[in-house]
Amino acid sequence: MNPAADLYTILRFYANRTQSPTFLADDFSAFLEKYAKRHAAERPDVAIWAENTAVKVRDGLTSLSEMGKCTLSNGERGLTVSIGFYFVDLIQQAYKTLEEMSELPFPEESSLKTVIPADQMRNLNLDLDFGAYLASPQDTPLPIIKLIFPEGAGSILLVSSMIPKKILEIAMLKARHHLRTHNNKEYLTHKLLPTFQGKESMLKEAINQLLVRPFDSMGELEKAGDFSYTFWAYLASLIKNDLRKKADKLPEEIAVLQAMQLIEFFNNFYKGKIQRERETETALKNLELFFDKPPYYFTMDEMVLFTDTKGVPLLGQYSKEALEEFIRSNSAKSGSQDQLPNLLIIRGLNGERWYVKKTRLLVLCIKLLGEARPRIKNALTQRWFKLMSDFRSDAPMEDDDAFERELFELTESSAPVLSAILNDKTLFLVHEEMEGTEAGVPEASRLFYKGAFAPLSDLYLLSRKDLLIDVRMLLPFWYSTPILSRLIAFFRGFGKKKRKKNRSSNNVPTRDTQALIREEREEAPKEKGPDRKTELKKAARFIEKKLIPVGFTLDGYLSDLEERWNRIISPQAKADLTEDVNSLIRDYLRKTARNLRAATFTPERIEDLARTLSESPNLLRLPSRDSLRLYIQLYMIKLILKS
């Protein structure tokens, strides 16, 4: 048994018995000693206070004071004890009585015949303060709430635990009592009928529900349905207007007026709450839709700036706390251990956090691969072109594993989001989870084969050997002529040896160019004569069918594409530009043809050739880039078919 806890119960009992929150400690000790001795036989729990009572009481009071359950003060008459919970007990008892006798007024200081100290009471105005209080209520019984009503309707005392349920229940009981007296039911029904034309049965049902099941009526008010909201708005207003006309109001009538003001307040409060919840729900649905739209990945800062279709920020339609809860609940693991959360968090190398919807991760990865491919290819082309122009080589140019490592490094520097996704184990888990679904993983989104991540060169559609061939095509012709290339390499190397005496060189070690030429020849097609040409034409016809829309011929579609990228008005100038472009294509194809094999002459290969040529300085300024690249592909097809 805890003596201090037991003492606190006895203190509250004594305060209620004396009807005073303040009393002398000596008076209480004398009472407790007599009480303990008288009831020791039947109440063993109080028998410990029968002897040495004064000392035990003082020790217990000290402990209770330190716990904040009572206040001690020394005066002329001795130690005085103040029990703040006396007022809590007093008010709670008053409301218990009010539940049984709803015609009684709400409790206030005058009706309770007490004065609550200012430091134990908190004043709230119904119109000005009560809404803010409901948004952030106090969680302790003290201080006592004094609710002040507008229009001179007085005030009532409340304990925080009574708000909002208990106080609204009492208001409903008072509304029912008002309808039951002085034929008010018939009078109010008659007054409300014109407002609810066509809904007379619903009106009568609502009034009968209030009379028979008032707490069910309270439940309807809390749901804030259209009819319920209108019913309570008109009923409260009608009763208030009738009571305002009376100059001298009885305490019972003031209590009814207070009850109607409370009902009116909560009717508007719950209606606004439901509307805000609906707005928040709609805004969160709009937020979720953003994750199904490009770019598919977002930071928290970007999510804060999301707007709806009217351009209104979503943050404001929901609170920041609601946004954080949405992210937390959607990114937390679901009940099933085998399933990933709906929202995934991708972490970058520098601490970035991107949020991606699970069902969009593979789509995002493929999208980012497509976006990064031109940058990666361009970076490799420029670097390798510079090396080969200086008759040098590098490991990624010669070894597939080194080429893969180079691709990962370039991805990390030029596409950080893609790099973060590829390095995150979540990618494999999403791939595995989607593979287990009925729809499976689309072939275009397949990144893993037999549990292993596909080579990055395959995902980028970049072949080391094809890239080398493309770079060599950009070099002057003598780089492909063994004798000239060896002579130039020799004299350049001789000049570099002289310069090494004056400065150190950081160049990549040189490599015999003839070895490169020999490698190229080994990789060159083995088909000879008519057979190779026939196979190439066959492959060209296959690609032609894929590229030309239904209803077009090859020449007709070429003319249509030419009109898109060649917008010069002058006929002669227009014809000259077309001829210049065609000449560039012929020269480029002539250089490339010696390395073309029918097996590798695919739509992807010819698309790469067209992209490389279209990015050359001579063609960079031409408009309609997509049409130009398609024109280059089809003109190459035409040249091969006519060869």
Burial category of 303 from C-beta neighbours within 10 Å (exposed 0-12, middle 13-18, buried 19 and up): middle
Q: What is residue 257's DSSP assignment?
A: H
> DSSP E strands: which ranges in 410-527?
448-449, 452-453
Residues 6+ apart with CB under 8 A from 596: 525, 536
The per-residue pLDDT for 491 is 55
DSSP-based three-state secondary structure for 347: strand
The span from the CA of 136 to the CA of 146, in Å, is 16
Pairing assessment for the beta strands 343-347 and 297-298 based on DSSP bridges? unpaired
Say if residues 153 and 257 touch (Cβ distance below 8 Å). yes
**Paired tokens of 398:** 């010669």
Question: Which pLDDT score, from 0 to 100, does residue 595 have?
Answer: 67
Q: What is the per-residue pLDDT across 521-571, written as a single tens digit (0 to 9) for each?
A: 444 444 444 567 788 888 888 888 888 888 888 988 899 899 888 888 888
Instruction: Say yes or no: 71 and 52 in one domain.
Output: yes
pLDDT at 335: 58
Q: Residue 80: enclosing H or E segment and its boundaries?
A: strand 78-82
- Same domain? For 7 and 133 the reply is no
* Domain range enclosing 500: 476-523
**Tell me, what CATH number does 10's domain have?**
1.10.10
Please tell me whether residues 447 and 554 are part of one structural domain: no
Angle at 351 between CA 445 and CA 315, to 5 degrees: 80
**H-helix or E-strand containing 148?**
strand 144-148
Q: From start to end of 519-636, where are the E strands?
A: none
In a shared domain, residues 461 and 497: no
**298 lies in some domain:** yes
How many whole angstroms separate alpha carbon 213 and alpha carbon 135?
A: 29
At residue 514, the pLDDT reads 41
Q: What is the pLDDT of residues 581-626, one digit of tens each?
A: 888 888 888 777 766 777 778 888 888 888 888 887 678 778 888 8
Whole-angstrom distance, CA of residue 60 vs CA of residue 642: 111
Q: Maximum Cα–Cα distance for the chain, whole Å?
A: 127
- 297 shares a domain with 401: yes
What is the CB neighbour count within 10 angstroms for residue 353?
Answer: 12
Region for residue 311 given its phi and psi (left: phi exceeds 0; alpha: psi -120 to 50; beta: otherwise):
left
pLDDT value, residue 46: 84
Query: Tens digit of pLDDT for each residue in 385-416?
Result: 888 888 788 899 999 999 999 999 999 999 99
Per DSSP, the three-state class of 400 is: helix
Alpha-carbon torsion (228, 229, 230, 236), positive or negative: positive
In the numeric block, which tokens belong to residue 564?
């898109």
Phi then psi for 291, rounded to 5 degrees?
A: -75, -10
Do 98 and 133 lie in one domain? The reply is yes
Q: Are residues 466 and 499 in the same domain?
A: no
In a shared domain, residues 490 and 553: no
Coil, strand, or helix at residue 102?
A: coil
End residue of a domain, out of 83, 107, 138: 83
Contacts of 193 (CB under 8 A, 6+ apart): 200, 203
Residue linked to tokens 């770079």: 471
546 and 416 within one domain: no
DSSP annotation of 307 reads B
Please count the residues of the chain.
Answer: 643
Domain shared by 402 and 503, yes or no: no
What residues contact residue 412 under an 8 Å CB cut-off, 6+ apart?
349, 419
For the beta carbon of residue 418, count every other beta carbon within 10 angstroms.
20
Predicted local confidence at residue 513, as pLDDT: 38
Q: Which two tokens stand for residue 583?
A: 């000449």
Is the same domain home to 257 and 302? Answer: no
pLDDT reported for residue 224: 94
How many other C-beta atoms lie within 10 A of the C-beta of residue 226? 8
Q: Give dist(CA 75, CA 69) in Å, integer.
A: 20
Q: Is residue 286 in some structural domain?
A: no
The answer on 255 and 114 residing in a single domain is yes
Judge whether 71 lies within some domain: yes
Residue where one domain finishes, among candidates 83, 118, 141? 83
Structure tokens at 196: 């609810």
Q: What is the pLDDT of residue 355?
A: 95
Could you tell me if residue 270 is inside a domain? yes
Helix, strand counts (H, E) of the chain? 28, 11
Mean pLDDT over the full length of the chain: 86
**Residues 192-202, buried b or exposed e (16+ Cβ, 10 A)?**
beeebeebeee
Residue 354 lies in a domain: yes
The pLDDT of residue 493 is 55
Low pLDDT (below 50) residues in the chain: 1-2, 4-5, 497-529
* CA distances for 28 relative to 19, 32, 33, 71, 339, angstroms: 13, 6, 9, 14, 65
Domains in the chain, number: 5
Name the domain boundary from 228, 251, 281. 281
pTM: predicted TM-score of the whole model, two decimal places: 0.64
> How do beta strands 144-148 and 121-125 pair?
parallel
